[in-house]
Amino acid sequence: MKGSLRIRALCAVVLVVAATGCSRGITSTPGDAPNLEKWVADVRARPATPLDPLPVMQQFETFEYSAQGLRDPFSDAWASADGNSALRPDPNRRKEPLEAFPLDSLDMVGTIGKGAAMVALVMGPDKVTYRVRPGVYLGQSDGRVTSVREDGIELIELVPDGAGGWLERPASLALDDR
């Protein structure tokens, strides 16, 4: 009991000392205000620091556009001069069943026959096996089969060249070893 009484007394003394110390910082004497006003007046009386000079504006050369008489780069007239105007997919050709699938979704699963009579067996994503021989179209890029080998199929696809024309791109389908 005596220990807790001593702790309470010690806490009370510490609080009184802290309160008196804080009260000294809060109260100010009447003589402090003129010193503060003098300091503010001195700071306002100082000359302002000079500003950096404005940057000099750079002069640019003028450019006069003088290509009105040249060919328009956005017209389709220059695409036909390329010579590839004959390369186009035939819109009247009847689409074959394997043209409904992307080329990378088709799997060559085998061959039948020998030599020029060789026929490739291609399985589509619909799990149906189709017979493929040269001249047949497959894939979604108008791919025409040029040759059938025991280990793969070679074809040529027609792809847009980005300028309104078409390009031939070689492609192949390898035998699936599964």
Q: What is the pLDDT of residues 126-142, one digit of tens each?
A: 999 999 999 999 999 99
Are the C-beta atoms of residues 109 and 119 closer than 8 Å to each other? no
Are the C-beta atoms of residues 102 and 125 closer than 8 Å to each other? no
What are 70-113's pLDDT values in tens digits? Answer: 877 776 655 555 554 578 888 899 999 999 999 999 999 999 99
Q: Which CATH number fits domain 97-174: 3.10.420.10, 2.60.120.260, 2.30.30.830, 1.10.150.20?
A: 2.30.30.830
Are the C-beta atoms of residues 171 and 106 closer than 8 Å to each other? no
Across the strands, what pairs with 121?
110, 131
Q: What is the mean pLDDT of residues 41-49?
A: 90
What does DSSP assign to residue 105? G
The token pair at 143 is 């791919």
pLDDT at residue 13, as a whole number? 81
